[in-house]
Amino acid sequence: MLRACHLPPIATPALCALRLSLIPSLHLSSPSNLHKASTLAPFQTSVIQTFTPISPYRSPWSLKRVFPMHPCPKGAASFSAGSNSEGSREILVQHLLVKEDDQKLLLDLQQRVSGGEDLSDLAVEYSICPSKEEGGMLGWVRKGQMVPEFEEAAFNAPLNKVVRCKTKFGWHLLQVLSEREGSLLQDIQTEEFHAKMQDPNFLEEAQLIDVREPDEVARASLPGFQVFPLQQFGIWGPEITTKLDPQKETYVMCHHGMRSLQVAKWLQTQGFKRIFNVSGGIHAYAVKADQSIPTY
């Protein structure tokens, strides 16, 4: 059974240990943090709540729940500029986790799955991973985002077949529910972006997003950008795929390129296929590409 909560998958504290680094953390506590934050994790509730990763994903990120969305990350996943994952295969995974020494329960659960019981139902009842609250859903992942043992088992598993693997967290029963081609996320330099901005067709075909706050946009702005203030994420986040087309090229900009990178990574988890982060933000654009734009 594919639960409603699986669409879209929701991040939980537990997922962050199994994954290495899918979703950095959105620091919304103050404007200064928004300017300087280098990690992000916009995903769950409009209340900022820090949690510690503890599952088969490992994550160095300081994850904060901001509103219902996707799952968490891996330790050294590339959120850096220029990461290009185009063409990479992504899989939608659910699992349940039991202690290493709980062999009797593991065998019993395997038999129940073989008898036709749903893995997500069993995860809710028996899994020791916090993902049990979402029926064991871990969300969309790609290679390099999970601990090796889990990754090998998941990426070699036939669709919908429940397989077993062991990690340092214990025994897992996992199931791959779907697969898709990965998306592209990379930085674009301000000079190149400026050249594109001179083409009227570009402004009609691309989606341009400014994630700065309204007072910042009032100081300096570029034509064609829709403003989605990061501090209002809880308002526009849930409706992003109705406001924007995930199939179109999407360019994200902020003041210095950090907040925009956070949002770009999140858009990637929401199914956006081609995402470009404006490197250095509008400040670099004003300094290097168009000095008529004010700096602040």
Q: What amino acid positions are annotated as catalytic residues?
A: 254
Strand stretches in the chain, DSSP E: 49-50, 64-65, 89-98, 137-142, 162-167, 170-181, 184-188, 207-210, 225-227, 249-253, 274-278
Find all residues with CB under 8 Å of 272, minimum gap 6, and list them.
Answer: 183, 244, 246, 250
Among candidates 186, 155, 152, which has minimal Cα distance to 279?
186
Q: How far apart are CA 192 and CA 124, in angstroms?
A: 49
Number of neighbouring beta carbons within 10 Å of residue 232: 15
Q: Which residue has the tokens 């809880």?
A: 234
Cross-strand pairs, 18: 57
HSE toward the beta carbon, residue 111, CA cutoff 13 A: 6
Number of neighbouring beta carbons within 10 Å of residue 23: 32
